């Protein structure tokens, strides 16, 4: 497990190195977009299209074309998605769809081409984009009393010790995720280069043989057949396991956070976040 983490760190360094290289030189290999992109329209055409749309279409379809009281969302519409430069949209605008209550519009082909350019410039899906909204809804005072009382956080943490200044070092959302993970789960999805806001001690393992001999160290790899560790001096050792012999006991410093997962109330998480962001 720890080996993986180390490798991942190396990977980040390597990727960072490659990025700086490719910034200096030509990019070695670019991955094609999943779906073909239309040639971009000029900003002037997009602006004209928006203006024509707002005067003629937004009454039904909304000023952003994402649906209004009577007209559907056009950004995800089948016709709009299939259209390149207005060729599919034009007949609909000029003829209307009487059965669905859409009147015809006396717009020129040039106007509709501009509308199409604006529609096609609208972002489709922000899948994977991080939240930029203010997530702070909690009560800092209740968060403080939870931290010092019911949450038992002070058994391991201190507002003037490991968490001092965390409100200056990290964004509220990162702090909130950290409250739950303890630094554990967040490691997996951490964006490249982001330093962990708190230091997490390594997971350790104790291997005990039938003879009574014990070997201890930082856990490196564990399966039903092999356990591997690094001793404090860096020596790597791995042992075969048969029928649960030797005995393996893993100590995860984040065990409290794991055990807590099924018990959290979202309100307590929000209050704790509101409190920790005040630790500037």
Partner 1 sequence: MKTGTLLLSMALCLPTGPLLGQGLATDAWPTYAGDYSQRRHSTLRQIDQTNVRHLTLAWVRRLTAGPDAGEGSWFGPPPGPPAITGGVAQEPVTSPGSTSGSPRLAGSILQVSGILYISSPDNAWAVDALDGHVLWHYWWKSRGGIHIGNRGMAMYGDWLYFETPDDYLVSLDAKTGQERWHKEIADFSQQYFSTTAPMVVGDHVLVGTGDDLDAPGFLQSFDPKTGDLQWKFYTVPMNQGDPGLETWASLDAARHGGAQVWTPGSYDAETHLYIFGTGNPTPAYTAMLRAPRDEHTNLYTCSVVALNVDTGKLAWYYQTSPNDTHDWDATQAPVLFDGMFAGKPRKITMQASRNGYVFVLDRTTGEHLLTAKYSDAANWAETVNAKGQPVRNAAKDNTVAGSLVSPDNGGATNWNPPSYDPRTGLLYVVLREIYAMYYLTDKDPRMLVGLGGSEQDVVGSLGTSIVAIDYQTGKLAWKYRLTGGSGTGLLTTAGGLLFANDGSGSLVAFGLRGRRSPVPLWHAQIGSIENAPETYTVDGRQYVLVTAEGTVWAFSLQ
Give CA–CA dist 61/100, Å, rounded: 13
Phi and psi dihedrals of 117, rounded to 5? -60, -40
What sign has the CA pseudo-torsion 170, 175, 181, 182? Answer: positive
Tell me which stretch binds partner 1 (CB under 8 A): 51-59, 149-157, 198-206, 257-265: 257-265
State in angstroms the smallest separation of the CB of 214 from partner 1.
Answer: 20
Q: How many residues bind partner 1, per CB under 8 A?
A: 59
- Is the separation of the CB atoms in 112 and 86 below 8 Å? yes
User: What is the nearest approach in angstroms of partner 1 to the Cβ of residue 253?
Assistant: 13
Separation between Cα atoms, residue 244 and residue 266, nearest integer Å: 39
Q: Which is nearer to partner 1, 64 or 279 (CB)?
A: 64
Q: Which range of residues in 51-59, 154-162, 231-239, 266-274 is near partner 1 by CB under 8 A?
A: 266-274
Tell me if 191 contacts partner 1 by CB under 8 A. no
DSSP state of 155: G
Distance CA 231, CA 192 (A): 29
Nearest residue (CB) to partner 1, 18 versus 110: 18
Is 195 one of the binding residues for partner 1 (CB under 8 A)? no
Query: In this structure, is the dihedral angle defined by the CA atoms of residues 216, 217, 218 and 223, taken in order, positive or negative?
Result: negative
Q: How far apart, in whole angstroms, are the C-alpha atoms of residue 119 and residue 93?
A: 14
Pick 48 or 227: Cβ nearer partner 1: 227
Tokens (6 digits) for 78: 């089948």
Contact, 76 vs 88, CB < 8 A?
no
**By CB under 8 A, is residue 196 in contact with partner 1?**
no
Q: Which is nearer to partner 1, 48 or 80 (CB)?
A: 80
Report the residue from 26, 28, 34, 98 that binds partner 1 according to the rule CB under 8 A.
34
Task: Identify the residue among 24, 78, 106, 195 touching partner 1 (CB under 8 A).
Answer: 78
CB of 6 to partner 1, least distance (A): 16
Token pair in block for residue 48: 């004209």
Tell me if 186 contacts partner 1 by CB under 8 A: yes
By CB under 8 A, residue 199 contacts partner 1: no
**Closest distance of CB 233 from partner 1, Å:** 25
Distances (CA, A) of 200 to 12, 19, 162, 197: 19, 29, 11, 9
Contact by Cβ (8 Å): 243, 230: no
- The verdict on 127 binding partner 1 (CB under 8 A) reads yes
Candidates 96, 184, 202, 253: give the one binding partner 1 (CB under 8 A): 184
CA-based R_g, the chain, Å: 29
Where does this chain bind partner 1 (CB under 8 A)?
Answer: 29-36, 62, 64, 66-67, 72-73, 75-76, 78, 81-82, 124-127, 129-138, 173, 176-177, 180-182, 184-186, 188-189, 221-225, 243, 254, 257-258, 261-262, 264, 266, 269-270
């Amino acid at each position: 497990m720890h080996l993986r983490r180390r490798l991942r760190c190396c990977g980040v360094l390597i990727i960072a190195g490659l990025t700086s290289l490719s910034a200096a030189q030509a990019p070695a290999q670019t991955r094609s977009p999943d779906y073909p992109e239309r040639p971009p329209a000029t900003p002037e055409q997009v602006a004209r299209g928006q203006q024509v749309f707002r005067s003629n279409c937004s009454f039904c379809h909304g000023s952003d074309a994402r649906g209004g009281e009577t007209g559907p969302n056009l950004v995800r519409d089948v016709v709009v998605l299939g259209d390149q430069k207005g060729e599919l949209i034009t007949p609909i605008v000029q003829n209307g769809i009487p059965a669905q209550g859409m009147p015809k519009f006396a717009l020129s082909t040039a106007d509709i081409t501009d509308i199409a350019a604006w529609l096609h410039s609208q972002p489709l899906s922000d899948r994977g984009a991080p939240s930029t909204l203010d997530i702070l809804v909690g009560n800092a005072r209740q968060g403080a009393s939870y931290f010092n009382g019911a949450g038992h956080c002070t058994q391991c943490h201190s507002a003037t010790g490991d968490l001092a200044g965390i409100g200056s070092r990290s964004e509220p959302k990162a702090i909130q995720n950290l409250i739950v993970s303890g630094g554990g789960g967040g490691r997996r999805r951490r964006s490249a280069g982001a330093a962990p806001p708190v230091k997490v001690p390594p997971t350790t393992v104790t291997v005990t043989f039938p003879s009574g001999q014990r070997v201890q160290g930082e856990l490196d790899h564990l399966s039903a057949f092999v356990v591997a560790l690094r001793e404090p001096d860096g020596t790597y050792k791995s042992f075969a396991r048969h029928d649960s012999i030797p005995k393996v006991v893993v100590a995860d410093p984040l065990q409290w956070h794991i055990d807590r997962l099924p018990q959290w109330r979202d309100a307590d998480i929000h209050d704790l976040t509101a409190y920790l962001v005040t630790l500037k």
